[in-house]
Amino acid sequence: MQHEHRMMVFCCDASRAFAQKVVSRLKKLDIDDEDKVRLGGLEIKHFSDGEFQPYYHDSVRGATVFIIQSTFAPTENLMELLLCIDAAKRASASKVIVVTPYFGWARQDRKDKPRTSIGAKLVANLIRAAGADRIMTCDLHADQIQGFFDIPVDHLMASNIFLQKIQDLHLPNLSIASPDIGGAKRANFYATTLKKLTGEEPPIIICHKTRIKQNEVSTLRVIGDVEGRDVVMVDDIIDTAGTLCKAASELKKMGAASVRACVTHALLSMDTKGVYAKDKIAASEIDEVYVTDTIPHPELSGDPKIRVVSMTDLFALMMRNVYMYEPISPVFHQDY
């Protein structure tokens, strides 16, 4: 007879590569039943009208079920996740823990104009209503989204990875930049943490942008000393890369020695003129962009400017600690 407390890991279609890396890492960690940790069988049956239905090949009765799925491009992937949560609960899973490396709709975190939705709150309600007991995610667009959930939220920061990457670059005149005013708190966190790690606090540069409309930047002004500096911009999302590329251009015009960026979630969408973000970055004055694998982009392998770093080790460690009822605070840096 199987004991009740057992870990079972599944993934939806969009995050399969990420889930495979997580499971490989889990097998190397100290878990009660580490020999049984594997990526479980989950089939998504598609119907001719576009409807789909999940089916678990393995019994999940009494198990702690982890479902890995990012909700980018977000409607199909979100609906697939909700159905998988529902299926696990109806199959008598003891706990259903949602692992969402990228939480879509997070930019809709408030009413920024009359008569509009707060999409992040609605999605939080949907995940809870589907039956999730806990959610794990990374670099939410706004801190307050954690409060939208009525279940525990484990919020990882990509700064765990990027801070080490910045130190490894050994930039002689490092400055940390935010591509917009809203990211000033994040930039300050990086600067103060680097002071703790290295003894020197890099100066902060702030870019102030205005928009004509969504995904289209009108003007961008740079605040701070740029001349001769090796600038690293930090942000949570690259969408069409308009802001990033415009900021890099302005920084180079003001005499920056080099411009790099560390950005967690790479949406890499097409802008209103039909230009993809990847091509825009390739043609821009930015020297390097570091992104994570929370959103899969196999086409970036070998890209001359965009480097992918993995969050899978951190997610695996967090999943292991939650499953083993051990503290998860050692996995995190202080929130920014």
Between the alpha carbon of residue 311 and those of residues 157, 159, 264, the distances in Å are: 9, 10, 9
pLDDT band at 32 (very low <50, low <70, confident <90, very high): low
The pLDDT assigned to 98 comes to 98
More confident call, 32 vs 279: 279
Q: Which residue has the higher pLDDT, 34 or 295?
A: 295
With 70 as the cut, is the pLDDT of residue 77 above it? yes
d(CA 220, CA 205): 13
Is a pLDDT exceeding 50 seen at residue 87?
Answer: yes
pLDDT in the model for residue 283: 96
Catalytic residue, chosen from 121, 209, 252, 278, is 209
Name the token pair of 1. Answer: 């007879």
Annotated catalytic residue 165:
no
pLDDT band for 4, please (50, 70, 90 cuts): low
Q: Helices 159-169 & 184-198, crossing angle to 10 degrees?
A: 60
Round the average pLDDT of the chain to a whole number and report it: 92
pLDDT on residue 336: 42
For 19, how many CA atoms within 13 A lie in the half-sphere containing its CB? 23
Mean local confidence (pLDDT), 91-105: 97
DSSP letters of 233-266?
EEEEEESS-HHHHHHHHHHHHTT-SEEEEEEEEE
